Amino acid sequence: MADDIRLWLRMLTATTMIEAELRRRLRAGFNTTLPRFDLLAALDRAPDGLTMAEVSARMMVTNGNVTGLAARLEAEGLIARRPDPQDRRAVRLRLTAAGKRAFAAQSAAHAQWVREIFSGLADGERAALHRLLGRTKDALRGTIQEEAA
Amino acid sequence: MADDIRLWLRMLTATTMIEAELRRRLRAGFNTTLPRFDLLAALDRAPDGLTMAEVSARMMVTNGNVTGLAARLEAEGLIARRPDPQDRRAVRLRLTAAGKRAFAAQSAAHAQWVREIFSGLADGERAALHRLLGRTKDALRGTIQEEAA
DNA sequence: TTGACATGCTTGAAGCTTAAAACATCTCCT
DNA sequence: AGGAGATGTTTTAAGCTTCAAGCATGTCAA
């Protein structure tokens, strides 16, 4: 089906539009960025902190990327870096108290923005979209995994 | 619904995974990038070329972004920049012969990749996803337009 | 135990991206 | 015609991102 291209472009456009809106609001409301927010979110879900490699896997970005991001967030006092007790190669990141406060505020606003953005869809539509995106991710595993092998 | 966050995260993840795969293949197969490909694609659809502003609107990026991208593509000989005959402020971009050839090859491969990526979904699923993403984009107009006003 | 390979992280170069400032040109109202 | 405001482009600074190279540490099998 040649329509696959149109499906993909529509998916990319919709996602890009929403992402751009969230970036705008994070900047306007909290003077921060989506990557910073995502890193704080990853740490917020991990009570014992995460190593750099764990963070980069969760964020789907390279290790080098996390190095710079973590350096900036540490400079802002939102996260702390400490050597991993189990593995002397690893650095473990965790939220500081200030980081927890900042993320709590950002996260609440973010959740509200997302609700607002999807409020134009009926419950059934949201559920169907959620299911189809899940199917898409599952189907992806076939196509993408093969490279790594 | 608090599930909206999960819907959004799933949408973002699925899109990011596909985008990453396409980037990988563009790099491996053609030593190029998605933004370059997108710019060529925009010009390919416009027989008389496009101004920088038109390109930046279609690509949903800032003007300054297009300035740099166009400079690199011009240096590679894939596009030409010439003053717009109607508006002396404007610069009009168009594909060179080499650019047309390069894009034709990239575009064919890209279309095949996208087909492959979505091949795990049934026809009905693809159609439903396409429709729901359209609904999402429509719903967005309400939420996002209001800022601009 | 020791060497080969894997894993964790950082660095540097290059490119992508934005926001904001600056400047040129255009439009349109009076 | 003049001038106010809109539009088109570039530049700069800062941040995001990748890839590849390099170094430190870990693992595991011979």
- Tell me if A121 sits within 8 A of A128, measured CB to CB: no
Give the pLDDT confidence of A60-79 residue by residue, as tens digits.
999 999 999 999 999 999 99
Residues A91-125: pLDDT tens digits?
999 999 999 999 999 999 999 999 999 999 999 99
Q: A3-117 — its CATH code?
A: 1.10.10.10
B/e letters for A6-34, b = 16+ CB within 10 Å, e = fewer, are ebbebbbbbbebbbebbeebbeeebebee
Domain borders along chain B are: 3-148
pLDDT band at B140 (very low <50, low <70, confident <90, very high): confident
Taking CB atoms and an 8 Å cutoff, what residues of chain B touch A5? 111, 114
| B62 in A contact zone (CB under 8 Å) | no
For B91, the 3-state DSSP assignment is: strand
Nearest to A136 among B14, B135, B138 (CB): B14
Q: What is the spatial distance between Cα B43 and Cα B63, in angstroms, rounded to a whole number?
A: 16
Q: Are B142 and A120 a contacting pair at CB < 8 A?
A: yes
CA of A103, C1' of D25: distance in angstroms: 33
B3-148: CATH topology: Arc Repressor Mutant, subunit A (1.10.10)
Residues 6+ apart with CB under 8 A from A33: A23, A26, A27
